[in-house]
A and B are shown apart, each in its own frame.
Chain A
Amino acid sequence: MVKTVKAIGHTCAKYDGRPDALLEILHETQHEFGYLSDATLIEIADILNISRADIHGIVSFYDDFRREPQVGPCVKICRAEACQAVGGEALAKHVNDAGIDSHDVYCLGNCALGPAIMIDDKLHGRVDTKKLDTLLKDRT
């Protein structure tokens, strides 16, 4: 906990404790700890002098913020139109059937080379079920 408090204090100080930098602070905190726990959020709220209700409202609004630790790699599957047009739905079904923890996103900006997925910030294009299995195997 002491380490947590210190790290959060450091992150907030980097942004001069400005409430408008909250998204950056949340991103960095999540990057550091893997997710946003109650304790970290309370600490951030105290430092930025905003209410716990406010910070809950903000964290819950944005899809990127996790309140639970991420198990395994973070897999984002594009479910938007351009990937739908080239078999993205079959890919999503494959991931679902395999029981892989994944997030639906709407466009990764790789619309000419779909279906697209992102694994831990690394973008992959022209992904079929075979390529996906290889990619995930490489990660574990």
Chain B
Amino acid sequence: MGNAVTINAVTIYVPCDAAAVSVGADDVAAALEKEAKLRGIDINIVRNGSRGMLWLEPLVEVETDKGRTGNGRIAYGPVNPEDITSLFDASFLKGGDHKLAHGLTENIPYFANQERLTFARCGIIDPLDLSDYEAHGGLAGLHKAQAMSPDAIVDTVAKSGLRGRGGAGFPTGIKWKTALEAKVDQKYICANADEGDSGTFADRMLMEGDPFSLLEGMTIAGLAVGATIGYIYIRSEYPHAVKTMRRAVEIWQDADLLKDKVFTIHVRMGAGAYICGEETSMLESLEGKRGQVKVKPPIPAIEGLFGKPTIINNVLSLASVPIILDKGAKFYEDFGQGRSRGTQPFQLGGDIKRGGLVEKAFGVSLRELVEDFGGGTRSGKPVRTVQAGGPLGAYIPPSEFDVEMDYEKLAEAGAMLGHGGIVVFNQDVDMAKQARFAMKFCEVESCGKCTPCRIGSQRGKETLDKIITGQDVEDNLELLEDICELMTEGSLCAMGGLTPMPVRSAIKHFPKDFIGT
């Protein structure tokens, strides 16, 4: 299974993840190559995914003999091309000390304190090397699933307690069982990779860093419910991920892992519509239509793509399936608390010192995420609020940061988990403007099918404009609450239905921003 590398060449990892590239990882890789050549040193650069410690990107890792594979890497970051000469001078190829050195990557507290299940391989392997994938535990879940009956696979997923990571939190096993029981000629598996929620990037990171885990999860889902065709719907704002997934699918199909069975996967790219992350809208888009939301029922698991039973799962849900099959339902269920089992990849963004991906079992507090992992704000100003769960999620003030992050506890606090995004704002934020933005975002991205969402968001924005300019504030706040109630109760999908959540939470926790001085 060994890779063809020059003997004695030191292996250096430089992420190809879009976030790392956005701050110069490609330039760093080129500079490393050039400097090594100049010095006559043999190096082997592997473009891995990101470890998720994004404030350290570009993070360069050097393989040493200090531990097992993936554990013996010494981290340097954030590295700029100008740092390369001094890194060589400091013998970084032998793990030498340098002002950018952080010791063993896996000993960095941010990384060491995580519970990585879904992201176990991300940042460790070469994303497009199937043998590297297998050497790090990949395919084990698929091999077990191949020896199981469809009922047994579905049962394992159900018992693990896995719930939809896209935001709705619907039990994955129940969805699969519904599709399994449908007796028809054709079924589909759709991976929802239309990760439109601002503040979230876990799907992107996974697709760029460990794409085979998504394909393995989809293939297992196919075996479980008897589907032979899979689609991955990726948003067009993620060109890197689209490219990596397309290549990964080719490699996966060529490997012919199912032998006598067929499961064909297609990658489809969205076209800049947030609403296509809503499952019925995504199906319309996959059929080549306007991405308009449809009334449920019928639910997609019974009548989905082209009218056939379709499993639509988020990227993270599907990518969690292989480890569940490999290590068993109980292993996965042992993480988490209450009805929220397993782990959640949280994404820390906005004004945060140590932004990135933190995978933890459900139950970690928001305070631990923002303060211990995140280290407060990047700007150094005090934290005023965080928005959890994307653009439709609630604003939460620091006084409530002790909330435990799971589906139920967040709901009790009037918030939601969403796709696990956490965006930090400092004291300069004007919450009336944030509330207005929530309405504006809904106005821009509404599919237009139902009136509460299409018109409600416009009237909501106008009403907030009046409040912001001090016109009849009390009456307009009452009117705004009316609009929020109507949108919540009357909208067809979560877009209009949840837009009031950030608006109401902003008013509740920061009333002074609305009443003025």
Are A and B genuine complex partners?
yes
A112 and B239 in contact (CB under 8 A), knowing A23-B270, A58-B288, A107-B198? Answer: no
Taken residue by residue from 108 to 125, chain A's Cβ proximity to chain B (1 for < 8 Å, 0 otherwise) reads as 111111101010010111
**Contacts of A62-110 to chain B: CB distance below 8 A:** 62-65, 76, 78, 80-86, 105-110
A107 and B351 in contact (CB under 8 A), knowing A61-B290, A113-B57? Answer: no
Contact A113 B429 (CB under 8 A): no
Taken residue by residue from 13 to 52, chain A's Cβ proximity to chain B (1 for < 8 Å, 0 otherwise) reads as 0000011111110110000000000000000000000000
Residue with the highest number of chain A CB atoms closer than 10 Å, among B195, B355, B379: B355
**Closest chain B residue, CB of each to CB of A107:** B198
How far is the CB of A86 from the nearest CB of chain B, in Å?
5
A110 and B273 in contact (CB under 8 A), knowing A23-B268, A80-B391? Answer: no
Residue with the highest number of chain B CB atoms closer than 10 Å, among A21, A24, A110: A110
How far is the CB of A48 from the nearest CB of chain B, in Å?
8
| Partner among B22, B196, B273, B425 whose Cβ is within 8 Å of the Cβ of A107 | B196
How far is the CB of A19 from the nearest CB of chain B, in Å?
5
Q: Which stretch from B132-140, B175-183, B437-445 is at the chain A interface?
A: B437-445
A24 and B426 in contact (CB under 8 A), knowing A106-B274, A121-B239? Answer: no
How far is the CB of B330 from the nearest CB of chain A, in Å?
34
Measured as residues with beta carbon below 8 angstroms from the partner, the interface class of chain A is 35 or more
Contact A64 B199 (CB under 8 A): no
Contact A109 B201 (CB under 8 A): yes
How far is the CB of A84 from the nearest CB of chain B, in Å?
7
Contact A85 B426 (CB under 8 A): yes
Contacts of A81 in B (CB 8 A): 198-199, 350, 387, 391, 423, 425, 434, 437
A111 and B355 in contact (CB under 8 A), knowing A20-B288, A106-B445? Answer: yes
Contact B288 A22 (CB under 8 A): yes
A112 and B54 in contact (CB under 8 A), knowing A81-B350, A85-B423? Answer: yes
B interface residues, Cβ below 8 angstroms from A: 18-19, 21-23, 54-55, 57, 195-201, 204, 236-240, 268-274, 285-292, 306, 347-352, 355-356, 378-379, 387, 391, 421, 423-426, 429, 434, 437, 441, 444-445
A interface residues, Cβ below 8 angstroms from B: 18-24, 26-27, 57-58, 61-65, 76, 78, 80-86, 105-114, 116, 118, 121, 123-126
A81-B391, A125-B22 known; 13 other A-B pairs, CB under 8 Å?
A24-B268, A26-B271, A62-B272, A64-B272, A81-B387, A85-B350, A85-B424, A106-B441, A107-B199, A109-B19, A109-B195, A112-B352, A124-B22
